[in-house]
Structure 1
Amino acid sequence: MIALFRHCLLACAATALTIHVAYGEPEPTALVDQQHCMFCHTRDAPFLAPSFQQIAEHYRNAPNAQTMLEHKLRLGGKAHWGDTPMPPAVERGGPLSAEEAHTLVQWVLSQ
């Protein structure tokens, strides 16, 4: 899994540097960086995982989506969009509080 993250980091480095364009909610850059979100996701195109825009479109109006996504961000979960499961926060960049998960999900759903 670590090798996959390293590979993704190299592939996404240029994209991650250009993601600071604000759409919807302001990007919580420190959390996005800490949790290495851009290793697998991009704002507008699928990579190793769905884009943030795809996630927003799919879950924006779904009942209980906010809670489900916050849980998945903190604890990880099985793959729903391909073969790569969401690793738990402690494997991505350290523990993630409920408030931090809420901030990230609010931002993603605003895309």
Structure 2
Amino acid sequence: MALAAVALAATLGSACVHAQLPEPTQLVDAQHCMFCHTTDAPFLAPSFHQIAERYRDTPHADAILEKKLRLGGPAHWGETPMPLPADRGGPLSREDAHVLVQWVLSQ
């Protein structure tokens, strides 16, 4: 019985790790994310699903992506760089970057 409970807890725990978070629509709109990205298909930049797949098992992926989101930078896929914050809606706080990245990684 105890072994079954441990197995169930492990299964539920892993399901929660990959649970899709609700879209932070105000942040997505304010940062104009959908100008280059879509949820599930590449557009001018990779889809959020592609980003999640690529970084899902990368240690410290959230910190890497939060920095990229807050500072902009060169392209890692294709030729479209991540625009500077001033070019896509203005500065982004660490907290807001964290919310956006956690949502993307949950895709």
Question: What's the TM-score, normalizing by structure 2?
Answer: 0.81
2:35 pairs with one of 34, 39, 45? 39
Which structure has the bigger radius of gyration?
2
- Which secondary structure does the structure 2 equivalent of 1:74 belong to? helix
In the other structure, the counterpart of 1:9 is none
In the other structure, the counterpart of 1:90 is 86
Q: State the Cα deviation string for residues 43-89 of structure 1 (Å, max 9, x = none).
A: 00000000000000000110121001000000001101000100122
In 2, are the aligned partners of 1:74 and 1:97 still within 8 Å (CA)?
yes
In 2, are the aligned partners of 1:79 and 1:86 still within 8 Å (CA)?
yes
Unaligned 5+ residue runs, structure 1? 1-22
RMSD: 1.0
Q: Partner letter of residue 104 of structure 1?
A: L
- Which secondary structure does the structure 2 equivalent of 1:107 belong to? helix
User: Identity of paired residues, percent?
Assistant: 73
Question: Which runs of structure 2 are paired with 1:7-22 in the superposition (5 Å)?
Answer: none
Structure 1 position 32, deviation (Å): 0.1
Moved over 2 A (4+): none
- Distance in 1, matches of 2:30 and 2:77, equals 23
Q: Partner letter of residue 80 of structure 2?
A: T
Q: Partner letter of residue 45 of structure 1?
A: A
- Distance in 2, matches of 1:91 and 1:64, equals 26
In the other structure, the counterpart of 2:105 is 109
Structure 1 position 94, deviation (Å): 0.8
- Distance in 2, matches of 1:66 and 1:24, equals 15
Question: What's the TM-score, normalizing by structure 1?
Answer: 0.78
